[in-house]
Amino acid sequence: MGKCVLIIHGGAVNTDPATIPPEKEEKLKQGLKQALMAGYEILERGGVALDAVEAAVKSMEDNPLFNAGRGGMFNINGEVETESSIMDGATLRGGAVSGLKLIKNPVSLARLVMEKCKHSFLTAEGAQEFALSQGLPLQDPNYFKTDEQRDEWLEIIQEAEAEHANKHDTVGAVALDMHGNLAMATSTGGIEGKLRGRVGDSCIFGGGGYANNEVCAVSTTGDGEIIMLAGVAHEVYALRKYKKRSITQAAREAVEVYADKLQGDRGIIALDPEGNVAIESNTNVMRCAYQVDGEEPFVAVWKEELEQHFK
């Protein structure tokens, strides 16, 4: 039996430090620790990577501090539309969903699509009909809305600047289990003030995430449009597979790929088959946590903390 590793992220963004005062930072760290524990306990018991990434992401989807599931960003109409993907590195099978308004845990629906559906990607009403056919409970739309998100949405409407909104946090996880299998999951409520029906990178294989037992597992966060167009998750995979980069170097290069043409926030968590950890971003905030077999968990909100840790 090999070692087990879990890495999670709760979003990367460039922001004024004043927007995350110490009390909010502590709550974010508690939420990250809770999600890490939910997934890592599964790995520690000999469970599989897929179960671990789903559990970790579900924990963050249930936590209104993160932009996924409950607490997801409002679109221009004041609705919460969520999306998610999950991928099994052992089989290269994956499931993705988008345009969801009633599903409590999008990552769980993505997994059902992967395991129970003849398709890999379902959207909107079709995805929700499939959820009902699989016995997945639906939630009232008000479940997903918080006072904080509502206030931010009202500011956008009043300022008529929805297209300039820059709130785009995403949650994700990558895992290596004791059996040598890799998996990834990514989930989000999208960007604040988005147009109805907008699809981001979190449900796009090769953009928001990718997993292959032979190479790596990756989950991304940041500006979805540029992450999709740059194929950031697949870029990490390609740099590892074809240029033989270390996982750290591959993630570092992928954060900057086409940065001259596609400018915006990017964050990456990645893991190779040997359990080497990579966490990179071009932002001052990278909410993340990880645990390696036999070591203490590490949790950070600021990129500065990461840089100190990996010195």
Q: Looking at this protein, which amino acid is placed at residue 7?
A: I
Domain ranges of the chain: 5-309
User: Phi first, then psi: what are they for 62, rounded to 5°?
Assistant: -85, -10
Instruction: Identify whether 170 is a catalytic site residue.
Output: yes
> What would the DSSP string read from start to end of 203-231?
GSBTTTEEEETTTEEEEEEE-HHHHHHHT
Q: Using the 8-state DSSP alphabet, how is residue 138 labeled?
A: B
The pLDDT, as a whole number, for residue 150 is 67
State both tokens at 105.
Answer: 């845990």
Residue-averaged pLDDT of the chain: 93
- Contact (Cβ atoms closer than 8 angstroms) between residue 236 and residue 216: yes
| Check whether domain 5-309 has CATH 3.60.20.30, yes or no | yes
pTM for the full model? 0.94
- pLDDT exceeds 80 at position 212: yes
For the ranges 162-176, 191-205, 241-255, 296-310, which has the lowest average pLDDT?
162-176
C-alpha dihedral over 241, 242, 248, 249, to 10 degrees?
180
From 19, 146, 170, 221, the catalytic residue: 170
Q: Tell me the pairing of strands 93-100 and 121-123.
A: parallel
Segment 82-139, tens digit of pLDDT: 999 999 999 999 999 999 999 999 999 999 999 999 999 999 999 999 999 999 988 9
